[in-house]
Chains A and B, each alone.
Chain A
Amino acid sequence: MVNQQMKEENLKKIFYPSSIAVVGANKIAGTVPHDILVNFVRSGFQGVVYPVNPKAKAIASMETYKYVLDIKNPVDLAVIVYPSSVVDLALEQCGQKGIKSVIIISAGFKEVGEVGLERERKLMEIAAKYNISFIGPNCLGVINTDPAVNLNASFARRMPEEGSIGFLSQSGALCTAVLDYAFPRHIGFSKFVSFGNKADLSELDLLQYLKNDEKTKVILLYLEEISDGRALMQISREIIFGTGKPILLLKSGRTAEGARAAASHTGSLAGSDKICDAALRQAGIIRCENIEEMFNKAIGFAYQPLPANKRIAIITNAGGPGVLATDSVIKQGLQMASFTDKTTAILAGALPKTANIKNPVDVIGDARAERYRVALSSTLEDHNVDGVLVILTPQSMTNIESIAHEVTLIAGKYDKPVYTSFMGEMDVAGGIDILQKNKIPHYRLPESMAEAFSATYRFRQEQALSGLEIPRFPDVNKGRAHSILDGAFKAGRQFITEDESVNVLEAFGLPVPDHGVASSREEAVTIAEKIGYPVVMKILSDDIIHKTDVKGVVLNLRDRNEVQAKYDEMLGRVKCLRPAARIKGVFISRMLEKGEELILGMKKDIAFGPVLMFGMGGIFVEIFEDVNFNVAPVNTNEVKRMITGIKSFPVLAGSRGREVSDIESLEQCIHRLSYLAMECPQIKELDINPLMIFGKGKGCFVADTKIMV
């Protein structure tokens, strides 16, 4: 088994090899085994390349070896391009040769079914035997634009420009499309990796590598599946909050499965993509909808400094686009800057009388480079401005290229971000090219420009909120909860009864009303008298999960007579409707006063582990699905966001004369539930529905609960 240190060394040789064997290279132009070899030459690879082919004496004028074992010199990296049926033989020889770093381009593995899966298993066995780390199989390959290596170990059509964006993709075909998209826009990459079936090295290993890669400032990731969500969150947090490198992710399968049928509310509301969304947000990852959005945001991060705040200046030579940009700035949660008197005076002195010297600054349609120069430099000088958006539309007198040069020159002098939108296509193409070559972010539309700017601002905000504490609760009684849950688990039960659920919650300090279990009418009265009226009665049975279906819940019993009467009535009804059900007794608890109904829940997700859900109860959850998710454990900031992030939060905040709810006690409940979720892995799903919240200082209480194991 390859340990972490070996893996890091092996990865280093994948990106920075001195010598490479192309195992399975051939002479047939237009095939992967040939083109990949030629790409090494074309990219100007700084090391030695050894083609391996059983028959050819030379390929592309390079001496060729029958087997990798025939190469006398040491080899850092093997790139295997043989058909899948013999990749294991090639990998075995790589192991014998002492090659620890391998890229397997060949397809025909897991993606083709059982036979391929078996082949893939074999590769993993060989890799483990020789401490080999490999990328692939079924991938496009790896590119490293660092001039120290100039490595194009892929069958992409061309080598991209050098840049600071690291791109990792599960899809090889998407990689070629991305390279083609990036090339005319002068978007450069530091490392470019297609990792295919990720049989050995996965996105987690590659993220770990990019974390420490000095050439990479921004990481883009395309995933089709997240197999270890918690590990992805962990490494992403280390990168985002530890090194300040943003991660932008495009994940397909948003609508794939939908919510699965589940016994609890939380289960049915927690569709896999909603959880994925929440988890990525929690980890600080920026999830994008498409390639264009991903690169729009990426170039902002890669080319410009992060804004110190959100006050924006807009400079435009056209009124309409200026208004559109202003709308977008506001919509994206940014602010239009108010200029200082000094800036206003400079603009008034330099621009025509018809120009708008307020924000957005309209330099008027006939503006040439000089007006843009004055407007841009004075707004960037202004301490009330955190960033500038420059818009241009092409008029007959607009010297587009000169303006682009001017913007490039001035932007480089300030530590504030400058984004541009030269609107149009043909006439503005020359200017756009100048901007793109000079790493000034350019956008086709002002709306995309504002959206991208906003992403960088929010990223900076998120950084400030990271590292908040996760509360611990020394008062909890884990043993009590575990004995209940383990007992149920061992007995093969899928859910625990209400009294057991309440006891589990109580053990973790969640507020439950006074309660007791009665096995007779007399005992029911004794418990009710002790608790105080009014009380609630619920049937307890391992065979009845939905108590209301069998009319096993009676509310608001106000005296001993009602308790006695309803006790007999309820048992009679349940026995009639479910004669086979084994009755454990009757759960009696204090009837809560009317408060705001909330729903709090937890579900164990395959990829992300325990996930918490919070929302308003009643119709808010039934119809509007107004709920928020977060992966446990949650920190103080995440809990606050879970609560304030629901659409109906104003109801809790006291809108329209309502009493302000006890948010502090709600926060405590969520933290305690988070702790419970982490400490009790036996729980599959948990619902507290409703959690009744009262006015400030009056707390909140669990009115009903369900726990599935």
Chain B
Amino acid sequence: MEKIEVRSRIKKVISKVLSVDEQAIAENANFVFDLGADSQQSLELVAAFQEEFNITMDEDKAFSAQTVSQAVDVISGYLN
């Protein structure tokens, strides 16, 4: 899967889980600091990414991704 598609689908997931406008999600936006994810929502985000891409992520790896671009890299790694 191309990174551009991964990015687009990630933004959709974030928009849904964190209730933020998809257009307002910047590439380097931090889930907690910029998008306001609380600890529960951080868990929900990981679960939603796994469901969206049908992958199982290592917990440490999943939570190490704190921004959109980092999430793209981690998820692309699993897909490839």
Contact = CB atoms under 8 A, between A and B. Distances in A.
B20 A55 contact: yes
B38 A86 contact: no
Given A55-B20, A89-B30, A83 B39 contact: yes
B38 A54 contact: no
Contacts of B63: 85
Interface residues of A, number: 12
Contacts of A86: 30, 32-33, 66
Contacts of B74: none
A55 B35 contact: yes
A491 interface: no
Interface in B13-69: 18-20, 30, 32-36, 38-39, 63, 66
Nearest to A88: B33
Given A55-B20, A85-B66, A86-B66, A26 B32 contact: no
Contacts of A82: 32-33
B32 A85 contact: yes
Interface string A51-68: 001111000000000000
A381 B18 CA distance: 74
Contacts of B34: 54
Interface in A349-391: none
B31 to A, nearest CB: 9
Nearest to A33: B38
A36 to B, nearest CB: 15
Contacts, number: 28
A54 B66 contact: no
A85 to B, nearest CB: 6
A28 B33 contact: no
B58 to A, nearest CB: 15
B36 A55 contact: yes
**B35, B38, B66, most chain A CB atoms within 10 A:** B38
Contact of B38 (A28, A89, A90): A28
A77 to B, nearest CB: 20
**A26, A82, A83, most chain B CB atoms within 10 A:** A83
A581 B63 CA distance: 61
A123 to B, nearest CB: 15
B56 to A, nearest CB: 22
| SS class, residues of chain B in contact with chain A | loop
B62 to A, nearest CB: 13
Contact of B36 (A53, A85, A89, A90): A53
B27 to A, nearest CB: 16
B43 to A, nearest CB: 12
A55 B39 CA distance: 14
| SS class, residues of chain A in contact with chain B | loop
Interface in A14-32: 26, 28
A115 to B, nearest CB: 10
A54 B34 CA distance: 5
A289 B30 CA distance: 47
Nearest to A54: B36
Contacts of A53: 36
A56 B38 CA distance: 12
Interface in A281-316: none
A82 B66 CA distance: 14
Contacts of B33: 54, 82, 86, 89-90
A83 B36 contact: no
Nearest to A93: B33
Nearest to B60: A115
B36 A56 contact: yes
A55 B38 CA distance: 10
**B34, B35, B63, most chain A CB atoms within 10 A:** B34
A85 B66 CA distance: 8
Nearest to B30: A86
Interface string A81-97: 01101100110000000
A54 to B, nearest CB: 4
Nearest to A86: B33
Contact of A26 (B19, B20, B35, B38): B38
A83 B43 CA distance: 13
Contacts of B36: 53-56
A692 to B, nearest CB: 65
B68 to A, nearest CB: 14
A86 B64 CA distance: 12
B30 to A, nearest CB: 6
A26 B35 CA distance: 13
A22 B10 CA distance: 30
Contacts of B19: 55
Contacts of B35: 54-55
Contacts of A26: 38
Contacts of A90: 33
A83 B38 CA distance: 9
**A28, A56, A85, A89, most chain B CB atoms within 10 A:** A85
A107 to B, nearest CB: 12
Contacts of B32: 54, 82-83, 85-86
A54 B32 CA distance: 8
A90 B32 CA distance: 11
A326 to B, nearest CB: 60
Contacts of B18: 55
A529 to B, nearest CB: 79
Interface in A550-597: none
B4 to A, nearest CB: 26
A56 B36 CA distance: 8
Contacts of A85: 32, 63, 66
A54 B35 CA distance: 6
A90 B34 CA distance: 10
Nearest to B66: A85
Contacts of A56: 36
Nearest to B33: A86
Nearest to A90: B33
Contacts of B39: 83
Contacts of A89: 30, 33
Which 10 residue pairs of A and B lie closest in terms of their CB atoms, listed nearest first?
A: A55-B36, A54-B36, A86-B33, A89-B33, A86-B32, A54-B34, A83-B32, A86-B30, A54-B35, A53-B36
12 contacts: A53-B36, A54-B36, A55-B18, A55-B20, A55-B35, A55-B36, A82-B32, A83-B32, A83-B39, A85-B32, A86-B30, A89-B30
Interface of B: 18-20, 30, 32-36, 38-39, 63, 66
Given A54-B33, A55-B18, A56-B36, 19 more contacts: A26-B38, A54-B32, A54-B34, A54-B35, A54-B36, A55-B19, A55-B36, A82-B32, A82-B33, A83-B39, A85-B32, A85-B63, A85-B66, A86-B30, A86-B32, A86-B33, A86-B66, A89-B30, A90-B33
